[in-house]
Structure 1
Amino acid sequence: MHDVIIFLGPSLSVHKASEILSAEYRPPVRRVDLLEVIRMKPRIIGIIDGVFFEDAAVGHREVLEVMKHGITVVGASSMGALRAAELEPFGMIGIGEIFRMYREGIIESDDEVALMCDPTTNMAFSEALVNIRVTVHYGEKTGFFTSDESQSIISIGKSLWYPDRSWPRILQASSFNQQRKDEILAWVKDHAIDQKQEDARKALSYIKETFYT
């Protein structure tokens, strides 16, 4: 039995995750999942993905109970980043840019990291708002987007229900002319930032480097 248990879903494939860290990988965390693994006495639990709206989300008290048993809990990317920002004062370790954004109040809602995915394959069918936000800010910084375009894209993204969020859907609802829409889609294809994936990788590398070297 691995002494590291990672709850992982659409943020990063298990295959790619296993190339970074040897661990027991489980589906996105749900309510009571953490309490069930306490008896296994792992050294570390990593929370990357978790359910949000379709099922009961993992509770703060569950994370605190795990840590009371001397188990290190690391969070990043999605549900893990959200809970880590809330529970860092109590000892949960947060990793990555999304965790920082939650901790500093740049983003607040769990809706920022939520997306629709296939529960069997974890293939994402929508785009996380935080990924859209980070991509747009990068585009603005590099001169591709104007400030008004950035604000418009983020505003439209926020207005959409999370399963409906995608670049084509956002641009369809925008007032940009067709040429600009085509330019944006082409740019996104080459420059979109998957911050959730990047943060998941960082968390796994952190666990490996901190606890196994």
Structure 2
Amino acid sequence: MTIHVFAGPSLSRSPVLALDGVCPHPPIAHGDLYRLRLSGEDTVLIVDGVYQHTAPIRHKEILELYAAGVPVYGTASLGALRACELHGHGMVGLGTVYAWYQDGRVISDADVALTHGDADIEFRAFTHALVSVLSVTDRLVAAGRLDATAASDVVELAREVHFSSRTNAALLAAADERGTGAAMRLVVDELRGDRLGDIKRIDAEAAVRDLLAGAAPEPPAGDVTVPLTSYRREWRLQHTPATADPDGPTERQVLAYAQLFLPDFPDRHTAHVLGNLRPEYPEIGFDDLPPAWMDGLSPDELVRRRILAPGERDTLDEKERALRVLVRTFRRRSGRLVYEEIPPELAADLPELTGQSARLLRLTERAMWVNPKFHPGDVPTQQLDDTFAALWRTDHLPTAVLDRGFRSLGEFREQARPYFMAARAVVAMNDAPRPADAAL
């Protein structure tokens, strides 16, 4: 059995991460459970997780993993919170912080939140979590070193300081203003790493050791049904690796590569749409367009909605116009997604597409390494649009992105940004003068 431990500051430099059977990962984020392709031979322990700048782990991701037969445990920090939220639905909570969430002593995300560094400094914590202050005051009261009233005052003061600012200095300054400086200094001194330890670390280390020893409670038996919503389908596509390599391109990145760079993808997309619609809507005569549903959709209205390009209003006959509208407005059931998986028609080309996608994404990574100030997210939208309009040789980008299976300009831009450097290079090569064109 392998225990996949998602942890950051709670287990920074902890020896338990080096124990046999433990596979450490950074704090968990949305999509990580899809990325790993776990099986019933694995166990997941969620300790720390990220949010705010990165989407947090979703409840349905955890439930889907449990439904697939992978035990999921939570402790100490975000893991304890998620375990409490999913109590009775398959996730198992461990430790003191989890028990506090269960009995209502702590209720907020902010009660376990803190700021910390990145992996290069081993996720060292910069501030204190409220649960750490709670644990220390409990310990001091039990030892007779702090009375209950002073402990309560210290906890309430710490609660008022935002988690991102809850440093030793900030806590002491706030306490001095309230006249509780002596009690706070006692608490801050007890929070030192060389004392008995932080409650989040104590919980997390105990959870790892219990799981390795087989001493943790078994997940509850029973079937869990997770609704297969369009969001779950989208998450799978976005985060599942296209190959067994968890660090390789995701299925969504490979599909985006095909949409962006295959010259014939508009034809492939049209065939894909018609192939999916024919069996589902046999009453529509796809070979005898336009059907009745086109009634009332005037060419001017379609141009206004950017479903037709202005030039197409007069150049396309009624049948061609209906086909373009059908393809450009196609959505899977529920009405959100155009693609929810890599289409079967690309299966034969998948190894080559994955390799090409990986090479182009590495080009972007190289550009970011050479110029630390560059990030594809900072590329001006107009420059991004102009580059792909030149690549596709189109003067109407809104309809061109629909012809390539993107549901909107927004989705196109999101998927195109990581490939901007590659697209710009291709456009530059296409525009470069040929030897026969060179001036003497």
TM-score (norm 2): 0.44
* 1:152 corresponds to: 153
- 1:76 is displaced (CA, Å) by 0.6
- 1:179/1:206 CA distance change after superposition, 3 Å: closer
Deviation at 1:184?
Answer: 5.3
Summarize the alignment of residues 14-163 of structure 1 with structure 2, pairs less than 5 Å apart: 15-37=14-36, 39-41=37-39, 42-120=41-119, 121=121, 122-163=123-164
8 Å CA contact 1:48–1:200 kept in 2: the answer is yes
How many angstroms does 1:150 deviate by? 1.3
Indicate how the Cα distance of structure 1 residues 211 and 164 shifts in structure 2: closer, same or farther if over 3 A, else same: same
Q: Which residue of 1 aligns with 2:198?
A: 194
Q: Which moved more, 1:27-36 or 1:162-171?
A: 162-171
Amino acid at match of 1:196: K
Gaps of 5+ in 1: none
| Cα separation, partners in 2 of 1:211 and 1:140, compared to 1, 3 Å | closer
How far the C-alpha of 1:167 sits from its partner, in A, is 3.4
Equivalent position of 2:179 in the other structure: 176
Computing the radius of gyration from Cα coordinates, the structure with the larger value is 2
Task: Report deviation, 1:85.
Answer: 1.0
CA separation of 1:164 and 1:100: change in aligned 2, threshold 3 A? same
Q: Which amino acid aligns with 1:11?
A: S
Greater relative CO (CA pairs within 8 A, separation 6+): 1
Between 1:178-187 and 1:147-156, the stretch displaced more is 178-187
Query: d(CA) in 2 for partners of 1:180 and 1:81?
Result: 28
Displacement of 1:152 in angstroms is 1.7
| CA distance in 1 between partners of 2:184 and 2:72 (Å) | 42
Deviation digits for residues 4-47 of structure 1 (CA, Å, limit 9, x no counterpart)? 2111111013551234453211100001111222x232521111
**What fraction of aligned residue pairs are identical, expressed as a percent?**
27
The answer to whether 1:209 aligns with 2:213 is: yes
Q: Distance in 2 between matches of 1:15 and 1:171?
A: 28
Contact 1:3/1:23 (<8 A) preserved: yes
In structure 2, the CA distance between the partners of 1:186 and 1:126, relative to structure 1 (3 Å rule), is closer
- Give 3-state SS (helix, strand or coil) of 1:90's partner: coil
How many residue pairs get aligned? The number is 210
Shift of 1:141: 2.3
Mark the CA change 1:167 to 1:3 in structure 2 (over 3 Å): closer, same or farther: same
Secondary structure of the residue aligned to 2:51 is coil
The amino acid that maps onto 2:125 is A
Partner AA of 1:199 in structure 2: D
Once residues 185 and 58 of structure 2 are traced to their aligned partners in structure 1, the CA distance between those partners, rounded to angstroms, is 43
When the two chains are superposed, the root-mean-square deviation of aligned CA atoms in Å is 2.4
Is residue 154–residue 183 contact of structure 2 (8 Å, CA) maintained in 1?
Answer: no
List runs of 5+ in structure 2 lacking aligned partners: 217-440
| SS of match in other structure, 1:44 | strand
User: Retained in 2: the 8 A contact 1:30–1:56?
Assistant: yes
Report SS of the residue matched to 1:106. Answer: coil
